[in-house]
Every structure is written in structure tokens, then in C-alpha cells.
């Protein structure tokens, strides 16, 4: 009984912690040639869910949305 109660309390504590995000920030080039950012749990998810991603774009893991590459224009895109 004590083990069950402790397990239930531990589960409740994990569920009650709001705002814990395991997402990372990725940069990509959109169809207009602008470098944009998005959050995703991994690079594959970022690549498949990036809105309006350019057909030849990939994704790049960045530390911050203040990264100097964000907002740049990519010529030829």
C-alpha cells in the first residue's frame, strides 16, 4: 500500500510540472528564401513539419533564436 501511494505521488509530481519542454530550436530556409526558426523534438520532426520550407532546405540546430543567421535572406532560393 505504501509503495502504491509513493508511486502515485511521484506520478502526480511529474504530471504537475508545467512548462518542461524537450524541444530544440532549428533554423531552416522557407520558400521565400528567409531563414526561419521552429521548435521540434528532433531534426526529422523539424524537417517534416517546418512551415513553407524550401524544397532544397534542410534544418540546422541552433542554440537561440538570436542566432545571427536567423532572418537572413538566402540568394537564389
**Could you give the CA distance from residue 54 to residue 60 in angstroms, rounded to a whole number?**
14
pLDDT confidence of 21, banded at 50, 70, 90? low
> What was the pLDDT predicted at 65?
86
Q: What is the mean pLDDT of the chain?
A: 81
Phi, psi dihedrals of residue 28, rounded to the nearest 5° = -150, 165
The yes-or-no verdict on residue 60 having pLDDT over 60 is yes
Is the per-residue pLDDT at 3 higher than 80? Answer: no
3-state SS assignment for residue 6: helix
pLDDT at 73 over 50: yes
Q: What order of strands is seen across the sheet that includes strand 24-29?
A: 35-40, 24-29, 59-62
Average pLDDT of the segment spanning 29-41? 95
Mean pLDDT of 8-35: 72
Cβ-Cβ contacts under 8 Å for 61 (sequence gap 6 or more): 24, 25, 26, 43
Amino acid at each position: 500500500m505504501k509503495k502504491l501511494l509513493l508511486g502515485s505521488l511521484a506520478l502526480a509530481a511529474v504530471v504537475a510540472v508545467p512548462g518542461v519542454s524537450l524541444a530544440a530550436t532549428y533554423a531552416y530556409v522557407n520558400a521565400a528564401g528567409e531563414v526561419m526558426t521552429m521548435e521540434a523534438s528532433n531534426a526529422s520532426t523539424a524537417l517534416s513539419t517546418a512551415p513553407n520550407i524550401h524544397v532544397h532546405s534542410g534544418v540546422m540546430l541552433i542554440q537561440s533564436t538570436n542566432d545571427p543567421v536567423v532572418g537572413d535572406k538566402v540568394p537564389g532560393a
